[in-house]
Structure 1
Amino acid sequence: MERIQFGTLSISSCPVNQYMEKFFESSEAPDAQIETKKQESFIQALENLQNGDLDLLAMPARLLHGKQMEMYEADCQVHGARAPRTPNMVLVSENKIQYQPKSAIILCESKLIRRQLRRSRGGMRVLSPTAFIEIEKRDESLGNELERYSWMEKLRQNNEIDGYIIPRVIYSTLNISERRHTLLPDPQNRGDDHFLPTAYSDLVVLVGRKNYPNKNAKLFSEIEGETVWKIQNHFIGEMDENQLNGIGILTRHRKMSTLMKQAEEHKDLTMEQAFHDLEGEANTNEVLVEFRIETISNDGKRTIAVDRVIPYSGYEIAMIATEKDWRRVIESSKIAGIDFFNN
């Protein structure tokens, strides 16, 4: 039986070690002797990969952004990925977004989600925790992720704020009893509010030495995860942090039946016709790849978005063409005097 030294690197919003432990205990786990080792930092993990103390490293894709050159210099590469499990944020509040009182105070760390909330509902005071502290002239120092969200929950319990946005997995970790309202990418009715996830949300990548057998890495990888990684890396891999924090992006595999049911419910004739021939028969039996990307102005009043649904066999070609379309739209907005990234 082959022995594999498997490292995990986690953050509170993407607990990779928990995800992999669950996978190793499942029937899908490979028939191999796996020794897991938790890593404290990306630098430490790279060193362990280089010297052979690790064969593979599972880590949040968000941590790899801007550090791929370090990975290549360590003679390592991305061998695979695992699809996001809980990419959507939740609103912790007594009320849903549309039923928030006038001038309700909602705290949110993500620039993207703050803009999505302003787009969804005017009249709310959607603030970052830092801005809230400055406005209220508080003497607070924000700690790690768990400490920050615990602090927000205390503010809500004391009725100092009306709610806050938190990753779904952290909500479960803190055992919060208040109601949660998930910010979903698919509105119940066509034209209703939607919330695309933040960049790389809950996406796990598998890093290993360049000469590590690809067949071994594939034992831990997922085809959908690899699709998500390839598309997101192609579109946003070279963005700086300011640009990245304003991007909403969603990539996922969809079944034809599920997509057609959604199109029928929303009376989306374009979607229905795109995957049926003149006789009404489905023109493909492939898995479909859905890709959506957007950026929003600071006040939430303007949105630039591109949506695509492509058969799996053609997604890489379509990815390149769609990225060119996205760049053209962004350039056109700049010509019109609208800067979505620096306003």
Structure 2
Amino acid sequence: MDSVQSLDVLVASESLDGCLLQVSKFAQTVDSHFSMNVKETENHEDTLLQLIDGKGDLAAVSGEWWARNEDERVQVKLFLPRKDPTLVLVSEDKLEYIPKNGVVVANSPLIKRQILRARRDLSVVSSVQAINKEILDVEAVTALEDLRIDQEINGYVISRAMHELLPFKTRRHTLGIHKRVEERFKFIPQGLTGFVVLISRKGFQNHSLNRFNDNGAKIAFELEYMALGHIDNEIRPFVGVHAEQRKIGTILKEAEKYQSKQILSSLIQPNQIKLDGKIRIEVIMEIVSYDGRVTGKIERMFKPDDAISSVRNIIIEWNNLLETMTKDHPEEKRRNLPATQRILQIYPPENKK
């Protein structure tokens, strides 16, 4: 009879990013050769320190946290399947049906601009303005829900992980990436959200764990990390980045439904034969003006084998796009080109940088 391998997995109990819930579910799904014991810690920092001290075999942290706190004493062991990285709007109605001049609470500068892009009549305020709280924990969201019930606000935007932690039921509406209704806008997330990374001490050898690694999540994390690394910190709060491994059939159905010529041409050869392979990597990057009126976007699709070189090319295109859209261009008499003002204003005029 094969022995059962027992592994202790450290994870923060106070984290609001859904790590504890996702790891607990994962521990229940591993096969009979493994027994995963989930041990709760105070926060991600405590999780890392306990792992280094040998108090656990693996530690689970969010992809966002790991990107900011990579440590040479530990290594990434595997990625869990990515949770949907989109945010949700808690309200009685979908965004397009919120009453005119309604009020929505959202803390992300990018989401605020994306909401204004879809509904310029809405007033989008922060949680500090609404309830004088910056961090959206369960207590803060409960206060927002009270405002919504009292009809002082029409809705508020929170993460899916936070929604799962709420002790009460609410109606939620996805601020989605892929269009399912033609008139809806896409809400590209800020990148690196929805990932749970299991890390171990350097030298920890357990090759049997490799079969649990989600390669699609790993690729998406690496590409988003690479793209974000080339975006200036000043404008990063206003930039959306999303990488995803998708089936060609799903992409084609969506593209044909909404007549997306760019996507169709990238997936079908001139003789109308669909390209080989079952999957493609999709990468979307966008920046939205302060008032939501102008969007700069790059959307590309490529084979997994071409991922690194394709993202490098996307970064070059992105820099050229920003150069064109966010800067004033003086008159060029030699080329008979008139002076032009910037197309996309990142900051309000009074805060122009």
Q: Structure 1-normalised TM-score?
A: 0.87
Q: Secondary structure in 2 aligned to 1:335?
A: coil
Matched, 1:245 2:237: yes
C-alpha separation in 1, matches of 2:13 and 2:108: 19
Greater RCO (Cα-Cα under 8 Å, separation 6 or more) = 1
C-alpha separation in 2, matches of 1:153 and 1:291: 35
Which of 59, 62, 66 is residue 61 of structure 2 equivalent to? 59
The answer to whether the 8 Å contact 1:286/1:311 transfers is no
Matched, 1:128 2:126: yes
Matched, 1:15 2:7: no
The answer to whether the 8 Å contact 1:59/1:206 transfers is yes
Tell me which residue corresponds to 1:286.
Answer: 278
**TM-superposed deviation, 1:10:** 5.6
Which of 6, 11, 22 is residue 9 of structure 2 equivalent to? 6
The answer to whether the 8 Å contact 2:11/2:44 transfers is no
Aligned residues with identical type, % of pairs: 23
Change (3 A) 1:143 1:257: closer
Alignment of 1:1-343 (within 5 A): 1=3, 2-9=5-12, 13-26=16-29, 28-29=30-31, 31-68=33-70, 71-72=71-72, 75-132=73-130, 140-141=132-133, 145-190=137-182, 192-213=184-205, 215-237=207-229, 243-336=235-328, 337=342, 338=344, 340=346
The answer to whether the 8 Å contact 2:266/2:301 transfers is no
The answer to whether the 8 Å contact 1:205/1:229 transfers is no
Q: Secondary structure in 2 aligned to 1:267?
A: coil
**TM-superposed deviation, 1:279:** 3.4
RMSD: 2.5
Q: Secondary structure in 2 aligned to 1:288?
A: strand
The answer to whether the 8 Å contact 1:92/1:181 transfers is yes
The answer to whether the 8 Å contact 1:8/1:57 transfers is yes
The answer to whether the 8 Å contact 1:199/1:245 transfers is no
Aligned length: 332
**TM-superposed deviation, 1:250:** 1.8
Greater Cα offset, 297-306 or 245-254: 245-254
- AA in 2 matched with 1:311: K
**TM-superposed deviation, 1:99:** 2.2
Change (3 A) 1:83 1:327: farther
- AA in 2 matched with 1:58: A
C-alpha separation in 2, matches of 1:257 and 1:141: 45
- AA in 2 matched with 1:107: V
Q: Structure 2-normalised TM-score?
A: 0.84
Change (3 A) 1:143 1:113: closer
- Deviations 1:154-188 (CA, angstroms, capped at 9, x unpaired): 00111111111122332233254443221111223
Tell me which residue corresponds to 1:137.
Answer: none
C-alpha separation in 2, matches of 1:300 and 1:261: 29
The answer to whether the 8 Å contact 1:3/1:33 transfers is yes
Change (3 A) 1:234 1:141: closer
The answer to whether the 8 Å contact 1:89/1:165 transfers is yes
- Structure 2 stretches lacking a partner, 5+ long: 329-341
**TM-superposed deviation, 1:89:** 1.5
The answer to whether the 8 Å contact 2:15/2:44 transfers is no
C-alpha separation in 1, matches of 2:59 and 2:307: 27
Change (3 A) 1:3 1:93: closer
**TM-superposed deviation, 1:19:** 1.0
The answer to whether the 8 Å contact 1:9/1:60 transfers is no
Greater Cα offset, 49-58 or 223-232: 49-58
The answer to whether the 8 Å contact 1:84/1:225 transfers is yes
C-alpha separation in 2, matches of 1:170 and 1:304: 30
Q: Secondary structure in 2 aligned to 1:250?
A: strand
- AA in 2 matched with 1:41: N
